Structure 1
Amino acid sequence: MKNRFSFLAAAGLLFALGACEKDEVQVTANASPAPTLTANATDAGTLLSSNATKTAVVYSWTPVTFTLSDGSKPVVPVTYTLEFAKTGTNFAVVGTVPAGTNTTRDSVKVSDLNSALVKAGLTPTLPGTVDVRLRASYSGNQADMLSGVSKISAVPYSRDLYFYGASIGPLGSESPLIREQSPAKFEGYVYVPNATNAFKLSNTASASGTVFGNAGGNNTISSSSTTDFTLAGPKMYRVSVDLTAGTLTAVATDWGIVGAATTGDGTGWNQSIPMVYDTKDKVWKLTGVTLPGLGTNSEFKFRANNAWTINLGDFKDKPGTRLVQDGGNLTTSGPGKYDVTLDLRDPDKYTYSLTKQR
């Protein structure tokens, strides 16, 4: 069945209206059939984070094209997306991989495929199979076109370790987590609310994952241990896990801002202004803090424990997008009172806000 839509409503075709001499002349376009999706493999094998940038599978497809009622063949922007869903679920929960605009193939990286498979519902470290289809989008008022469904099998890995326990909360999508920063090495910030906090870690946010406990009671992490880890609180910790070495380390952190912006001169780099952790909003805050710095003296950073061992600054490759360890200096917009927040919940994207009070 051909997909036929009004030329007047088709984004990307409006340029041709100049060829119409009368407003009442309506040009229509016939779309080609839905794309046919093929792959160079049906089993991606065991995915490894050490191969994250390598190609896992190559998908190719027939493009969606258009023919106008006047016989011309304009180029219409068609955006393609690969969709992955656990086999038999009718795409109820979908993991996606963007496949470009006006493309005919996509070499899917291991990291992208892995993320899509985990989002689709496969359990890390266990083999599974997903259904795959291609979605083609080309006009805001037209239904997307979908390819036929194929399958691919793989053993995904987990990039996240989720914390759960009586004081931290049940295992689920809202559980605090740390994320893999290099193969088998995880790091992130976790707040524990009680005086004593017992917990375990899981590589999924559901009961189907692998659970890690405290082997021997000495913070040796192992999937064969049922013993809880414990941390004193209330406190935020920078937690590091090395699954290869079998170690878990936790460093308590109290955050503050430091820099010339806090004093208006170089002495501001010697002493942090403490921030307060807001347990409701789950961010560190300073409200109505006076920052007198101007020009080169408007620079500041975030650091923990009034020391430089743990500090966060601007991501130099893409300034303003996120905070990174030992990053560049941040700046205020000039002297004034500010509300400052520091958000450490997403291990891939530590962020802050700086709002000048009126």
Structure 2
Amino acid sequence: MKKYINKLFILGSLLFLGSSCDSDAELTTLEAVNFPSEINVSSTKIVLTEDTAEDQVLLVSWPEVTFPIEAPVTYAIQFDLVGDTSGANAWQKAKRIEVGTDVLSKTLIGEELNKIAVDLGLPIDVEGKLVVRVEAAMDRKVFSNPITLTVTPYEKSVVFGEIYMPGSYQNWAIETAAALTAIQKGVYQGYMTVATGAGPGFKLNTERNWAQFYGAGATNSDLQNMSDTDFVLPGAGSYQIKVNLNTLKWTATPYSWGIVGDATSGSWDNSTPMSYDHQTKTWKVTAVLVPGNVKFRLNNSWTINYGPKNTTDGIVYLDDQGSHYVGEGGTYEITLQINDVDPASTGYPPTATYTITKK
């Protein structure tokens, strides 16, 4: 009996192998993806100074990378020290800048590249070596060959001073006008909120008096000494204001901190905007909350967000997953105080302070 069972087993095995060989199924492997050619940089030797802080100092461009799947490709550039690009921890300390989907170049201004160089540890006013490479990502990440740059960074001067922004938003009272703080020599930056119904006009004064002021010149963006023409903001809302007395230009960029979370009316999808109190330099909002969680984020996006580690110490942390739990529904006054005077060159601070108080 045992002999017949063994014969049947052998016959079954042969039939299985035969059917496997006749199968039309194909064994597939992950297709190799590479950069089709080298990346390019506008210069491999760059001397950075405060005078070139806002100039375009480096253009990195690259060829389109083709993946086997028809889908958008996301590109980023990475900078690192030469000594940190090999070994088990290669590129782990790199400074990464996401460029976007199907974008094939990135331009950096002087202060951006200087911050990268200083953060990576290049000595001030001395030639140092950085390497740059491009990352392409879809179903996996592939990298270009790196290019070595010789970069001389500078030390940003400590600058002090303010200019002032009287306008319709606060009835032209120079004594209580918003102050813009010096972030570079001759460059000032600050924040403000124009309430709905308030006029959009303003001037720029060098002191808290009317001895010298600037108004609009040839265009709304141009500063002209002692011009009677008001500058005009786009309308109600919160803005980051930047004034450059070196170039006699100014800009207003929509900029608003807000609350987000399932305790808020917008839940986790839409932030409730806060208003900037320019006298106390605090973002504020009065809102109806339900039991749930609250966090803070910038410009209705998760790119920059803060969360607390607990509900007691009034501190929020950059990119922290925590949130403030509200146990009782009702009307709350919420404040956020953050030292983000010059995030473009110094980044956002690791912490900020907040209050959530039931009225």
Q: Given the two structures, how large is their TM-score scaled by the length of structure 1?
A: 0.41
More strand by share: 1
Query: Looking at CA atoms only, which structure, 1 or 2, has the larger radius of gyration?
Result: 2
